Amino acid sequence: MATAQTFGRATVRDRVRRLGSPAEEARSFWTRASTWGLLLVLLYFALAGVSPFANEPVATRVVATSSAGGVLVERFSKLFIFLVCMIFVVQRHQSVRRLSMRMKLVTSFPILALLLSPVSQLATRTISSGVLLLAGTLLLYYIMSRYTLNEVLELLLVLGTATIVASIVFALALPQYGRDLLGGHDTAWKGIFMAKNYLGNVALYFLTVAVSYRGRTPLLRSVRASQILFCLIAIAFSRAATAYLLTAVYLVYVVTMKTLRGFRKKDYFVLCILLLVAFCATTVIIVAWPGFLFSLLGKDVTLTGRTEIWSAVIDSIAKRPLLGYGYDAFWLGLEGESYRIILTVSWALAQAQNGFLDVLLEMGAVGLTIVLLVFGFAFRDALTCLFRSRDDAQLRAVEWYLAIVILTLIYNLDESFLFTPKHLCWMIFLIACVGLKMEWMGLRVSTAHQPAPRIAPPEISTARIERRYALS
């Protein structure tokens, strides 16, 4: 309890210290060279370390970086980004250390990946990717310890505006790079990203940022409004069915949370239970009659071959169920165990099209347990804050964090970016997990320090007093 109180008090002190007028906040935020340097590092993760002018398929790129031809460039870039991240981390090493201790599960994943490198199919790649994942995780601790939530959203808003606008320009002016031609989708946009699904994925996460951000200047408010439009355009022209579905899910979520704010906490709980029942009923209907949903999404019952991939992947998991094949060391093209899957499905692959299956492939049941616990604690922290908090600013923050957690969970049933070393959406998910933990700890501290309600003495009637004296 003492550790929780210390962490909560430190969080409150940091927030109070960073509060100020909008003008002071603007001067102290964007006049720092470190802010712009951090923006460049986040741009690297947003692009997954791939040049926007690279036009080879994703699977081909993965095989190239695992071979002698591209391994030196790949390792050098990872080492460089690791050193840059460490420059930021050491500036606030005490705060980063505190957060890493509070987020033990998240911190333990890259450490476990490094410890399991001796059993990896490609130990050198596991070590380099594991080190980069650890550096990215520590960088997120630095961001959450230094910046307020609104500043974090502002950083992501600027990053999102730059990348989404650039993606639209590439798709219209440079179609040979900005459209997913090699993926067989001539009209689908991929922008400056590596694939159309990645564009739809990133655009949706940036859309949540723009919706949740509260602009502090007229310019930023106009950027926020335009970013919402740009993200919707990017999602529409990405032709990514999963992005379509989750955009609808997110919009329903936003409307639902706005409606819930007007309810009392008791009614709030009852309505959440009803929504959960409705969600379960919808899930049952989708499972019982999948053809209708798939026809709306433009997919067949096999989810464009995904079910065949999952079947082959499960066979490989059964061979190493406990520790897996090594972090970031399974999809090696025509090498190792991935060769058997590629021959089975007749499709060059770089992922299992399911984040949880990819974790099982790379880290086995041990890694999957960590991932499921991370999601479990994130939901616990979010629901606790929603049901117990009375602070509007805290509730708005928790609503955005929870939206990111829900989207990440659903996305990784169809795509894969759980604990991926170079993926901005995974980093945003970790921001949400850290933010939820901070809000939960702060709520516990504030609740523990609330004065106990004073109990009024019982009222004694006049008749009772007279009876007492009469007996005496």
Read off the tokens for 3: 């550790």
Residue 430 lies in a domain: yes
Digit-coded pLDDT (tens) for 51-104: 888 766 655 555 555 544 456 677 788 889 999 999 999 999 999 999 999 999
Q: Please give the Cα distance from 269 to 259 (Å, whole number).
A: 13
Q: Enter the pTM of the model.
A: 0.85
Q: Which of 173, 165, 274 is nearest to 223 (CA)?
A: 165
In a domain, 90, yes or no: yes
Residue 4 maps to a domain: no
Per-residue CA distances from 62 to 42, 50, 68, 369, 423 (Å): 21, 11, 12, 27, 14
In a domain, 386, yes or no: yes
Q: 348: pLDDT confidence band, cut at 50, 70 and 90?
A: confident
Q: What is the pLDDT of residue 77?
A: 84
The per-residue pLDDT for 332 is 87
Domain that holds residue 97: 77-146+321-336+351-447
Separation between Cα atoms, residue 58 and residue 68, nearest integer Å: 18
Token pair listed for 226: 């335009």
Give tens-digit pLDDT for 10-35.
444 444 344 344 444 545 678 888 88
Q: pLDDT tens digit string along 110-158?
A: 999 999 999 999 999 999 999 999 999 999 999 999 999 999 999 999 9
Q: Residue 99: its pLDDT value, please? A: 93
- Among 109-118, 410-419, 455-464, name the one with the lowest average pLDDT: 455-464
Decide if pLDDT at 38 tops 60.
yes
Lowest mean pLDDT among 177-186, 214-223, 331-340, 443-452: 443-452
DSSP 457: P
Supply the pLDDT for residue 437. Answer: 94
pLDDT of residue 22: 47
Whether residue 142 lies inside any domain: the answer is: yes
363 within some domain: yes
Contacts 24+ apart (CB under 8 A), 134-137: 134/110, 135/81, 135/82, 135/85, 135/86, 135/89, 136/45, 136/85, 136/421, 136/422, 136/427, 137/100, 137/106, 137/107, 137/109, 137/110, 137/430
Percent of the chain residues past pLDDT 90, beyond the cut: 49
User: In the prediction, which pLDDT does 448 show?
Assistant: 63
Q: How confident is the model at residue 455 (pLDDT cuts 50, 70, 90)?
A: very low
Is the sign of the CA dihedral 402, 406, 409, 414 positive or negative?
A: negative
Is it the case that residue 388 has pLDDT exceeding 60?
yes
Is pLDDT at 286 greater than 60 in this prediction?
Answer: no
Q: Which of 29-38, 392-401, 459-468 has the highest mean pLDDT?
A: 392-401
**Per-residue tokens: 236:** 């529409």
132 and 78 Cβ atoms separated by less than 8 Å: yes
> Between 458 and 186, whose confidence is greater?
186
**pLDDT band at residue 284, thresholds of 50, 70 and 90?**
low
Answer yes or no: is pLDDT of 220 > 60: yes
pLDDT band at 336 (very low <50, low <70, confident <90, very high): confident
Closest to 399 in 3D by CA, of 254, 231, 227, 278: 254
| pLDDT beyond 70 at 191 | yes
In a domain, 370, yes or no: yes
Per-residue pLDDT of 241-280, as tens digits, reads: 889 999 999 998 998 888 877 666 566 666 667 766 776 7
Q: What is the pLDDT of residue 166?
A: 96
Domains identified in the chain, total number? 1
Confidence of residue 338 (pLDDT cuts 50, 70, 90): confident
Check residue 63 and give its pLDDT. 52
Residue at 309 is within a domain? no
Closest listed residue to residue 317, CA positions, set 325, 309, 307: 325
Rounded to the nearest 5°, which phi and psi values hold at 179?
Answer: -120, 150
Please state, for a pLDDT cut of 70, what percent of the chain lies above it: 75
pLDDT of residue 369: 96
Q: What angle do CA 251, 394, 162 make, to 5 degrees?
A: 55
| pLDDT, average across residues 362-379 | 95
Question: How confident is the prediction for the chain on average, in pLDDT?
Answer: 81
